[in-house]
Amino acid sequence: MATAHPTPDPDPSRVLDVLRASGVFGGLPDEVLRDLAATLQLQFVAGGDIVYREGEQAHTMFFLVSGRLRVSRRDRTGALQLYNEILPGESVGEAGLILQQPRAADITALRDSTLALLTRAEFDRLMVRHALALNRVFAQAIYNHLRHTSQVVRRRQAQIFVLVPLAPGNACRRVAQGLSRALAQIGRAQHVGPETERDLHPDATSGWVALDRYDQLEKQYDFLIYEADDDGSSWARRAFRQADQVVFVAPPDAPTAPGPLELRLREEPGFEMKRRHLVLLHPEGAGQPQEIAPWRAQRDLERIYPVRHGEASDFARLARFLTGKATGVVLGGGGARGFAHLGVLRALEQCRIPVDLIGGNSMGALLGAQYACGLPLDAIREQTMRFARGGERPTVPVISLVSGKRVQRDLQRMFGDRSVDALWRPFFAAACNLSRACTTVQDSGPLWRAVLASNSPVGLFPPVVHNGDLLVDGAILENVPVEAMRMRLGTRAEKRRGNGTIIAIDVDVQDYMGVDQNLTRLSAWRKLKSYLTPGAAASPGIGDILYRAGHIGGLNQRGRTIAQSDLYMEPPVGAFALMAYRQAAEIAEVGFRHAMKEIEQWDRSKMAS
């Protein structure tokens, strides 16, 4: 252990409480727990300091009594890889202590933390006194380690955010107040400003006195919002040390270059270990967010949130993202059958299930982009029907069957100069990158171009050229881009389940496309005859074949789509033709009725509302 320092604990009973809360050690008899607690050595580690380094020889294990730690490693290129967080009650290092293995990763204190250490010598003495009981729990701990099983800790810990102003003014105070109100709808929240902290605890600057104060606050609240001042005082640095997540705050018209306080915090130990965000506070009633690209260019951030002062829904969305309770909705492609998405969105609204992030492919991208722009569902349906009636001109079939110029023109009229990353509700569109043989997720740049690329079926429309790459409808690889949603909904440290909820809607009907078994080849004349002769045997045309070929990857990946999503819907829209745009209202109603039935079956206990 590189930086921990022993310090007397004013309240030894808290160590016993931590042991009892442990999912592994909490089952020990009380006499064994008390003996174990008495042998542990308490040490204080300042936020940002290294606890263990990868490769060091293991001579101790520890229990985290208070604070929070982060596990990390460096890859072969030196890039930082963030892994799980360690919470109070969890134990670390059992396998290394018993098997004499080197440390497998770095462990850094995210906050000022208290550790309870067990040395090898004390472990050996305990094993003599309580061999049977301790053998059982340590065997279970090593088994969990080998299986990468998370410990279950029966102890709640508050989530702590520090809000750091990047410009003078009251933006940080306003965001702190708005976030506090939003978090209060989820649990017990407390806003602690610089003046409050100084008035209550003028002498508590470090060590156990300050740590006890923070522990008391964590016991009283579920969420603590520390508001830093903009002068780089000791309070700003101390609040930063206690926080799990850093939320920088600025008005959108402020200078984007990092200022003195931000640069100073970057030098604080543990800066890289904390989740970092930026809130751009727009005036009340602002119509459209300002561009965020200049802010991102100079910072490594998990996400940038444009919010409006006084807009409760914006702050509620911010709170859900920060606490891992955001809901992402993924809309797949499927022609006119995609109008079922509007019915599903109506059901979500009626059931008060928020849509914090929306993404889609093809028809799903077209509808999702309009929804992200804030259009009402009925307006989206009418506008999309007008768009679909526009038609398209055939062209010389050298690159594609149609030119795509009308579609591009109408999308430019529909979305104007809006950028994908300048929306109040985050959005992305998926496309297949023919140049790189992968899915390209468009979450920046002109909104019309992102939607156009996602709505350019290969062979039918010309590919969209972007940075030298050729982009087409994403259904070739993934029609319902759930993986892209998982990467954007999760935290930078852990792109996995548990970080919010993903709802996937698939309207691509997997029907059989075949012909009479007696046919040996397809004929253009036979296809023309099927158009002119009622009752003639069906024969696929070039549109059917191109559509099927363009969606074959998505159809093949349906099982993976279901597995990667938390909640999956497949509205029964097979009776509607791909081009049945005149039946938009009816298709949407089918989606609504299906969604209402599905939602009744969901376990919504872990979903925000």
**DSSP state for residue 285 in the 8-state scheme:** T
Whether residue 113 lies in the annotated active site: no
Tell me the two tokens of residue 422: 């300048």
Annotated catalytic residue 66? no
CA distance 201 to 214: 11
DSSP reduced 3-state for 458 = strand
3-state secondary structure of 419: strand
Q: Which of helix, strand or coil describes residue 606?
A: coil
How far apart, in whole angstroms, are the C-alpha atoms of residue 586 and residue 609?
28
Write the CA distances from 38 to 13, 120, 387, integer angstroms.
Answer: 10, 15, 74
Output phi, psi for 103, to 5 deg: -65, 135
Q: How far lies 189's CA from each of 164, 223, 226, 422, 484, in Å?
A: 18, 5, 11, 29, 32
Distances (CA, A) of 581 to 339, 345, 405, 588: 8, 18, 21, 11
| Strand order across the 91-92 sheet | 5-6, 41-45, 113-119, 60-66, 91-92
Asked whether the beta carbons of 35 and 81 are under 8 A apart, the reply is no
**Inter-CA distances, 105 with 115, 147, 256, 462, 563, Å:** 17, 16, 35, 49, 30
5-6 and 41-45 as β-strands: parallel, antiparallel, unpaired?
A: antiparallel
Backbone dihedral angles phi then psi of residue 74, each to the nearest 5 degrees: -110, 135
377-388 vs 340-350: helix crossing angle, rounded to 10: 170
The dihedral through the CA atoms of 11, 13, 19, 20 has a sign that is negative
Catalytic residue from among 473, 506, 508, 566: 473
Q: Which residues contact 168 (CB under 8 A, 6 or more apart)?
A: 230
Given a contact cutoff of 8 angstroms between Cβ atoms, the answer to whether 419 and 291 are in contact is yes
Lookup result for tokens 């002498």: 203
Q: What angle do CA 389, 394, 400 make, to 5 degrees?
A: 110
Strand 69-74, strand 106-109: pairing: antiparallel
Catalytic residue among 22, 72, 113, 362: 362
Query: Minimal CA–CA distance to 175: which of 60, 5, 65, 319?
Result: 319
Nearest to 420, CA basis, from 288, 280, 286, 300: 288
Spatial CB neighbours of 365, under 8 Å, sequence gap ≥ 6: 331, 333, 359, 429, 430, 450, 451, 454, 455
The answer to whether residues 490 and 275 touch, using CB atoms and an 8 Å cutoff, is: no
Q: Answer for the pair 247, 160: CB distance below 8 angstroms, yes or no.
A: no
What is the set of active-site residues? 362, 473
